[in-house]
């Protein structure tokens, strides 16, 4: 009898526990919907979308928007233009045919420090005689231009203010294709506006751009006035400066492009410390090859960081530090984000085997490059001033017989090759990507030893 009572108590207790567990874990999970003489179907109740809520949170942009809206500013660029009237010149003489007028351009900028440092695009403020900054609160300030880098379209401004909202830099190298991003700017002279999209591509080189870049491409809507604004991730970190759009109308239709934050950050630091940007190079010549994944090295310059590290002709660059390199623009993007003297780990493939080499980057001003049968060197600042030019590279030595016949000699300054402007010897790389041999050099613009400008076109 006692045994039966024990069994009954155990059974009762077990049933109670089972009922409790069922109520807790299953009753809220499934609700039975009755339908006359039809099969009963389980459906999720309002208590069970934990996974759906998590998914919504993954694409919640409110935190990033709140963190960035007040840190993006409106940039007004005022410059003075001169309009010529040839008829007035003809009838009234020199000086009567011109009149000055005011030109106004607008764009966006990103506050990067509480004491008023602002980054924007160079083209937003280029040629400005006066720059005005408007905060999202509509408060206005006069801005000082600290410095600019035309090659990468970045400029640094400063306003006299404190305790400003600002955006912290993120690591653009760790951003991924498919990642959600926000574009924040002042399109059409509106106050700060947010649009969302995903990263469509990285390391993008824009066709027709005068410099090899490594843009972040996104499908977030960017319109006139957005230039210089912020591209941020969902944590509100700055991963790019919006720069250009790909459109046939001038307004957003397809894609927009941003300078990666790692490049912008390095340029800004140089402008703050030196007032100018120093460019770093490995010390190699590359060659375009469509059948390889990476960047092919055709030549290593002597006494450069690459040479001292043991890089060789025929090596294929696969990584810079831990960042994979698939094409030339990605290599340039990594180097632009570095300074001369920095050491990088370069992974190269040689005879099917990967090697990791520690390379100390050289400064472009000390770099000498061989191309098209010519050895080129950098011009000093005073040499440029004396010649009244902003760019150009010097001919140090020439072995190209066709050009020798034209009279080109050591000491000549090359301003452009095939319409590619030469600001430094590093610019030779983008020409080499489009020119496969000396015979395809179709046009040269030079300054001769007498300081005269000459143009040589194919047919010489």
At 47 the pLDDT is 45
Common-topology check for domains 56-75+106-127+135-277 and 280-364:
no
Predicted confidence (pLDDT) per residue in 43-58, tens digit: 434 444 444 444 445 5
Question: Could you tell me the pLDDT band of residue 127, with boundaries at 50, 70 and 90?
Answer: confident
At 193 the pLDDT is 85
Annotation: CATH topology of 280-364: Pdz3 Domain (2.30.42)
CATH of range 368-457; options 2.30.42.10, 2.30.29.30, 3.40.30.10, 3.30.70.1710: 2.30.42.10
Question: Cα angle at 430 between 429 and 433, to 5 degrees?
Answer: 90
At 303 the pLDDT is 84
At 4 the pLDDT is 54
Instruction: Say whether pLDDT at 409 is over 70.
Output: yes
At 29 the pLDDT is 42
Let me know if domain 56-75+106-127+135-277 sits in CATH 2.40.10.120.
yes
Domain ranges, ordered by start, for the chain: 56-75+106-127+135-277, 280-364, 368-457
What residues are labeled active site?
Answer: 123, 153, 227
Higher pLDDT, 146 or 434: 146
Higher pLDDT, 417 or 12: 417
Predicted confidence (pLDDT) per residue in 327-367, tens digit: 888 998 899 899 989 999 999 999 999 999 999 998 865 55
Instruction: Say whether pLDDT at 177 is over 90.
Output: yes
Question: Could you tell me the pLDDT band of residue 244, with boundaries at 50, 70 and 90?
Answer: confident
Higher pLDDT, 426 or 164: 164
Q: Tell me the Ramachandran region of residue 386: left when phi exceeds 0, alpha when psi lies from -120 to 50, beta otherwise.
A: alpha
Give me the mean pLDDT over the 212-230 stretch: 84
418 and 443 Cβ atoms separated by less than 8 Å:
yes
Instruction: Say whether pLDDT at 217 is over 70.
Output: yes
In 26-176, where does DSSP find H-type helix?
50-58, 62-68, 86-92, 122-125
Return the structure tokens found at 451.
């300081």
100 Cβ partners below 8 Å, 6+ apart? 80, 81, 82, 83
């Amino acid at each position: 009898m006692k045994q039966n009572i024990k069994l009954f108590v155990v059974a009762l207790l077990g049933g109670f526990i089972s009922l409790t567990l069922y109520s807790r874990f299953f009753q809220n999970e499934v609700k039975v919907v009755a339908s006359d003489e039809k099969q009963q179907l389980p459906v999720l109740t309002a208590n069970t979308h934990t996974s759906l809520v998590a998914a919504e949170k993954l694409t919640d942009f409110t935190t990033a928007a709140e963190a960035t809206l007040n840190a993006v500013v409106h940039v007004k660029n005022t410059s003075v233009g001169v309009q010529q009237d040839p008829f007035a010149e003809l009838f009234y003489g020199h000086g009567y045919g011109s009149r000055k007028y005011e030109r106004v351009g607008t764009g966006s900028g990103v506050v990067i420090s509480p004491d008023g440092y602002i980054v924007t695009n160079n083209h937003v403020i280029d040629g400005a005689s006066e720059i005005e900054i408007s905060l999202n609160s509509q408060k206005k300030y006069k801005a000082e231009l600290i410095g600019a880098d035309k090659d990468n379209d970045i400029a640094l401004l400063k306003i006299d203010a404190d305790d400003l909202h600002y955006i912290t830099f993120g690591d653009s190298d760790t951003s991924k294709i498919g990642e959600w991003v926000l574009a924040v700017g002042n399109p059409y002279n509106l106050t700060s506006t947010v649009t969302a999209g995903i990263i469509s591509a990285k390391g993008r080189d824009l066709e027709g751009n005068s410099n090899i870049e490594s843009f972040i491409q996104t499908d977030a809507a960017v319109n006139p006035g957005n230039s210089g604004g912020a591209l941020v991730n969902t944590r509100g970190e700055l991963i790019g400066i919006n720069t250009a759009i790909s459109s046939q109308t001038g307004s957003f239709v397809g894609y927009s492009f941003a300078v990666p934050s790692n490049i912008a950050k390095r340029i800004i630091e140089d402008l703050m410390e030196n007032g100018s940007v120093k460019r770093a190079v490995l010390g190699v010549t590359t060659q375009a090859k469509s059948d390889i994944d990476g960047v092919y090295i055709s030549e290593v310059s002597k006494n450069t960081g690459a040479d001292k590290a043991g890089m060789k002709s025929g090596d294929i660059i696969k990584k810079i530090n831990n960042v994979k390199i698939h094409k030339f623009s990605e290599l340039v993007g990594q180097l632009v984000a570095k300074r001369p003297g920095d050491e990088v780990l370069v992974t190269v493939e040689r005879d099917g085997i990967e090697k990791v080499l520690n390379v100390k980057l050289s400064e472009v001003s000390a770099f000498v490059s061989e191309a098209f049968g010519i050895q080129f060197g950098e011009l000093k600042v005073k040499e440029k001033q004396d010649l009244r030019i902003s760019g150009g590279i010097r001919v140090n030595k020439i072995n190209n017989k066709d050009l020798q016949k034209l009279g080109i000699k050591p000491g000549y300054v090359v301003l452009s090759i095939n319409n590619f402007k030469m600001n430094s010897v590093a610019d030779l790389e983008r020409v080499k990507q489009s020119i496969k041999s000396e015979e395809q050099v179709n046009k040269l613009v030079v300054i001769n030893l007498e300081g005269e400008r000459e143009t040589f076109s194919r047919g010489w």
